[in-house]
Amino acid sequence: MNPSLLVDSPRSSAAAPVLRTKAELRAAVAAAKREGKTVGLVPTMGYLHEGHLSLIRAARAECGLVVMSLFVNPTQFGPGDDLDRYPRDEERDRRLAAEAGADLVFAPAVEEVYSAGASTAVEVTGALTGVLDGDPERRGPEHFRGVTTVVAKLFNVVDPDVAYFGQKDAQQAVVIRRMARDLDFPVRVEVLATVREPDGLAMSSRNAYLEPADRERATALSRALAAAERGAHADTLAAGLEAARAELAAAAIEPEYLEARDAETLEAVAELGARPVLVAVAARVGAARLIDNVLIQPATSNRPNT
């Protein structure tokens, strides 16, 4: 792995306090709420980068108590996924979380989250989880069932007023918003902009898998999305997607998918209209499977819909 791709932290920095059990966390949150504090939750799988830290800072600006969860959730990994090699460094993550403004880190064991014999899952069905990453030929809807189950558990344990997610995982954010709405969780789901490296690569813990040559090739994903947006506004959405494919091909990247979908319903779209369009891409670059996306805003009133 290449940790230089991620945020560095001085070894002497103080670490955020860590709680391991649901009972400890519930007690801490209850005490904060008795003092009238609002609670912000930043769910993570750790190996923090600037994208995670931007969420913690946003929570710090709005909330009296900021809880960052640190849990590599096994139920969202499928056969052949990278669960065993997913990067982990709890000490470093706790220091970075504290520097960004987290008050507590909830880092439970798997057995604390999923009790023996657990047989209940939370699942958003339909189009939101059956396309893009949820396509059965890709990660499948089981991936999102794992995500929504663990996030529902976190919402129940933390009882946050606001939960913060990143736009890089756009489909995940759409699914979680739907789950929160459908199950009446009293939480505002805040989705913040993707944080990028200076060369445009979307920050991801999995960037640590990239060897130098692949790291350079991976920048084609953000260039492809920029080409899609330019082409869509200058010509047609189809022309934008074609320009994006050309950028990927020039870097010898074959996308797992490159698709245009309604940003809220994830229905396939063929042209810009009155609603934002999500252009999403996934591709394997070297040892890393990377995802990225761009939101293309509706055509302006002085431009005919194309």
Q: Answer whether residue 2 shows pLDDT above 80.
A: no
pLDDT at 304: 38
- Contact (Cβ atoms closer than 8 angstroms) between residue 266 and residue 128: yes
Please list the active-site residues. Answer: 52
pLDDT at 80: 84
Q: Answer whether residue 11 shows pLDDT above 60.
A: no
pLDDT at 141: 96
What are the pLDDT digits (tens) for 243-285?
999 999 999 999 999 999 999 999 999 999 999 999 999 999 9
Alpha-carbon distance of 49 to 118, in angstroms, equals 32
What are the pLDDT digits (tens) for 182-204?
999 999 999 999 999 999 999 99
Rounded to whole angstroms, what are the CA distances from 19 to 27, 66, 73, 109? 11, 13, 17, 10
Residue by residue, what is the 3-state secondary structure of the chain? Answer: CCHHHCCCCCCCCCCCCEECCHHHHHHHHHHHHHCCCCEEEEEECCCCCHHHHHHHHHHHHHCCEEEEEECCCHHHCCCCCCCCCCCCCHHHHHHHHHHHCCCEEECCCHHHHCCCCCCCCCCCCCHHHHCHHHCCCCCCHHHHHHHHHHHHHHHHHHCCCEEEEEHHHHHHHHHHHHHHHHCCCCCEEEEECCCECCCCCECCHHHHHCCHHHHHHHCHHHHHHHHHHHHHHHCCHHHHHHHHHHHHHHCCCCEEEEEEEECCCCCECCCCCCCCEEEEEEEEECCEEEEEEEEECCCCCCCCCC
Rounded to whole angstroms, what are the CA distances from 112 to 83, 154, 163, 201? 18, 12, 21, 35
Architecture per CATH, 3-192: 3-Layer(aba) Sandwich (3.40)
pLDDT at 299: 73
CA 153, chain centre distance (Å)? 17
- Contact (Cβ atoms closer than 8 angstroms) between residue 258 and residue 279: yes
Q: Where in the chain are all domains bearing CATH 3.40.50.620?
A: 3-192
Q: Answer whether residue 55 shows pLDDT above 70.
A: yes
As given in the structure block, the two tokens for residue 233 are: 């506004």
As given in the structure block, the two tokens for residue 284 are: 């394997």
| Amino acid found at 226 | A
pLDDT at 300: 65
Can you tell me the mean pLDDT for 31-55?
Answer: 98
Average pLDDT, the chain: 93
- Contact (Cβ atoms closer than 8 angstroms) between residue 38 and residue 75: no
Residues pairing with 165 in the sheet: 191
Can you tell me the mean pLDDT for 218-227?
Answer: 98
Q: Where in the chain are all domains bearing CATH 3.30.1300.10?
A: 210-296
Q: Answer whether residue 34 shows pLDDT above 90.
A: yes
Q: Answer whether residue 94 shows pLDDT above 60.
A: yes
Q: Answer whether residue 238 shows pLDDT above 50.
A: yes
C-alpha closest to that of 92 among 44, 133, 154, 124: 44
Can you tell me the mean pLDDT for 296-301?
Answer: 76
**Which class does domain 210-296 fall in?**
alpha beta
**Of 108 and 305, the one with more pLDDT:** 108
Q: Rounded to 5 degrees, what are φ and ψ at 109?
A: -75, 160
pLDDT at 219: 98
What are the pLDDT digits (tens) for 105-153?
999 999 999 999 999 999 999 999 999 999 999 999 999 999 999 999 9
Can you tell me the mean pLDDT for 200-215?
Answer: 97
Q: Rounded to 5 degrees, what are φ and ψ at 214?
A: -70, -35
Q: Answer whether residue 305 shows pLDDT above 60.
A: no
Can you tell me the mean pLDDT for 163-175?
Answer: 98
> How many residues are recorded in the chain?
306
